[in-house]
Chain A
Amino acid sequence: MEKPRMVPRAMFGKIWDKHAITTAGDDWALLHVDRVLLHDLSGRAALKALADRDLQVLAPELSFATPDHAVSTAPGRTGTSYPGGAHLWEGLKTLSKSSDIRFFDVGERGQGIVHVMGPEMGIVQPGSTLVCGDSHTCTNGALGAMALGIGSSELAHVLATQTLWQRRPKTMRVTFDGELRKNVFAKDLILHLIGQLGARSGTGYAVEYAGAAIRALGMEARLTLCNLSIELGAKIGMVAPDEITFAYLEDRDFSPRGALFDRAVAHWRTLASDENAGFDREERVDASLVVPMITWGTSPEHVVAIDGVIPDPESAPDDMRRTAWRAALDYMGLQPGKPFIGTPVDWVFIGSCTNSRISDLEEAAQIVRGRHVAKGVTAWVVPGSEQVSRDAQAQGLDRIFKEAGFAWREAGCSMCVAANGEAVPAGQRCISTSNRNFVGRQGPGARTHLASPQSAAAAAVTGVISDARSLVHG
């Protein structure tokens, strides 16, 4: 039992304090790591680094491995279908098995993008600490976990010691008041926030998302929200666990069962930030004012309302950003001052650890049903995991997309990061439900606009950037 405390604590502080095995100067602590996710790039690299030094994985039962980045997502693929990634798939598989780490192979439940698979398998739990050699590990904070991305050297350290040295970050709470409008989604909320505060505003902070609009979000929407914390600059994003979280976790593969689940829930209820807990920074957003958002440039902070106009570098706040905005517009092939709606698109990608879960596919299908992909547009759906793929097929979602002319693919990161050869061709414009619009992110010369699954679906069926709200059936 935790002793009653006089000082109210934020959720982040409760989890940090619990996991600090020892401390050092300047607020540093050696934290226990409760869960590790391993993928074919950094996971394989870290396991190999350990093997090369003849070091053992300290607690293999706490690590979970699956290939996601470098495997093909072509229908009927195997681990070696993409030749450039075959050695990474093979390496992760072999090294996981020789270390007694659970490995979920292509075609098996459990395979998928690590940040889709982790929550859906019940691996991520409220109050736990979790790391992965992947910046979007912050996604998993949606369950009330302290989840952060690290490099592969730090990951090797975690595998060898089940701990990580970290400097305690400051805390920021972002409160989203009010109610989201119809056909506005978690993706729009977080893009709006990044646009308001900037892509480095979260640097040095653990961010907690709170408020009525967050409490009303389902678990998958919360995962989308937390996913873009790193695009705000924050390694950690969290939502306090509540009834929605507990219901989500019941009966998952690695969730506790029966009386143990009840004990866990009783503990999870103590994790939310105490009333009057202090935060180093507080921000408030009126969620009822947020509209569908889309990025125009090459940083996620380059974002506007979808019915807005492409910004003019002359209005940039300083010289450095003026230079960056000009370069971004040049790269994106856009003219300042023009309305966004009506801009022709070549590709549509629905997938990634941001927006590839079943609710994302359902939202996109609302727009796609009974329509067809516009001429000249290539549109893909890449489910986030084998489980999402199976659930979608059970509901007939795959048929809706295929009948509309979308390609229905196997689970993986695919075109979000183009590590598996699946890339947007140079100079082509892609509306993507992913998280990064960086130069070359989706392939050399590719032009990426980030938006919600409904906005992506709307672009697919109209062939131009469109306001999905005008296409919603009924």
Chain B
Amino acid sequence: MDKVVTIEGAAAPLLIPNVDTDKIIRIERLMQNTRQALGQYALEVLRYDTDGRENPEFVLNREPYRGAPILLSGSNFGCGSSREGAVWALLGAGIRCVIAESFGEIFYNNCFQNGMLPIRLEAAQIASLSQASIPMKVDLTNQTITAGALKYGFEIESIRRDALMEGVDEITRTLRYRERIADWQNDDRLQRPWLWEPVALRRT
């Protein structure tokens, strides 16, 4: 996973609510393609017309937003399906940071598994950023967003920020608790045997 410290570039305004993960990546694209090939299909229903041609009106098809590393959006970005491919597709399209009023929770969590930075801001701040001069700079160390004369701070949980900045592997980190997990399970087998006995595997 790529470490995230600063992200700098254009911020493309996609100022609509409820950009769901089906809209971000169609399910059959996930089934037919490797993770690395998903970028071309990110936001497909908005980026292309029904005949497959680029929609010239769509923000990521217009200069100076083509290839923008930052996306601005409305409330509930990434709502819907848990598909992690939504994050992979946006990353594949070059987006490293999404700034929105709010996020679908599973999408939000998936971002941190993949080095994508999701930031929550107020609608008015997002509206101002969409009018600001380019480039915008997102600084995770200081938790600031600057664009021209605009400068906003943003909130992020320290556990999340550190994970993004260090690129830590969560499984390796959790396996350090192996003994405590085993102790918990042994206690639980005694406390709640009804959860364990009916599913026990008979190994030969």
Contact = CB atoms under 8 A, between A and B. Distances in A.
Contacts of A60: 201
A426 B105 contact: no
Contact of A200 (B27, B79, B174, B199): B79
B159 A260 contact: no
A200 B180 contact: no
B198 A235 contact: no
Interface in B156-189: 157-159, 170-171, 174-175, 177-178, 180-181, 184-185, 188
B29 to A, nearest CB: 11
A285 B85 CA distance: 37
A37 to B, nearest CB: 12
Given A152-B84, A200-B102, A418-B28, A160 B193 contact: no
Given A257-B198, A438-B23, A324 B17 contact: yes
B7 to A, nearest CB: 21
Interface in A80-118: 84-85, 88, 100
A157 B22 contact: no
Given A41-B30, A152-B84, A320-B74, A445 B174 contact: no
Nearest to B108: A203
B185 A32 contact: yes
Interface in A141-171: 149-154, 156-157, 160-163, 165, 167
A440 B31 contact: no
A70 B31 contact: yes
A321 B76 CA distance: 12
Given A233-B105, A439-B23, A256 B171 contact: no
Interface stretch (B60-68, B109-117, B131-139, B142-150): B109-117
B17 A84 contact: no
Contacts of B197: 256, 260
Contact of B188 (A30, A32, A441): A32
Contacts of B31: 41, 70, 84-85, 88, 419
Interface stretch (A127-135, A335-343, A359-367, A370-378): A127-135
B105 A204 contact: yes
Contacts, number: 196
A162 B185 contact: yes
B45 interface: yes
B47 interface: no
A118 to B, nearest CB: 12
A53 to B, nearest CB: 8
B22 A233 contact: no
B16 to A, nearest CB: 5
Interface of B: 15-18, 20, 22-23, 26-28, 30-32, 45, 50, 74-76, 79-84, 87, 102-106, 109-110, 113-114, 123, 157-159, 170-171, 174-175, 177-178, 180-181, 184-185, 188, 192-201, 203
Given A22-B177, A133-B82, A165-B174, 17 more contacts: A24-B159, A32-B181, A32-B188, A34-B195, A41-B27, A60-B201, A153-B84, A156-B171, A161-B171, A165-B170, A200-B75, A254-B199, A298-B18, A438-B20, A439-B22, A440-B22, A444-B50
Interface of A: 21-22, 24-26, 28, 30, 32, 34, 41-42, 45, 53, 55, 58-62, 69-70, 84-85, 88, 100, 122-123, 125, 127-128, 133-135, 149-154, 156-157, 160-163, 165, 167, 199-200, 203-204, 230, 233, 235, 254-257, 260-261, 263-264, 267, 298-299, 301, 320-321, 323-324, 327, 417-419, 421, 426, 436, 438-441, 444-445
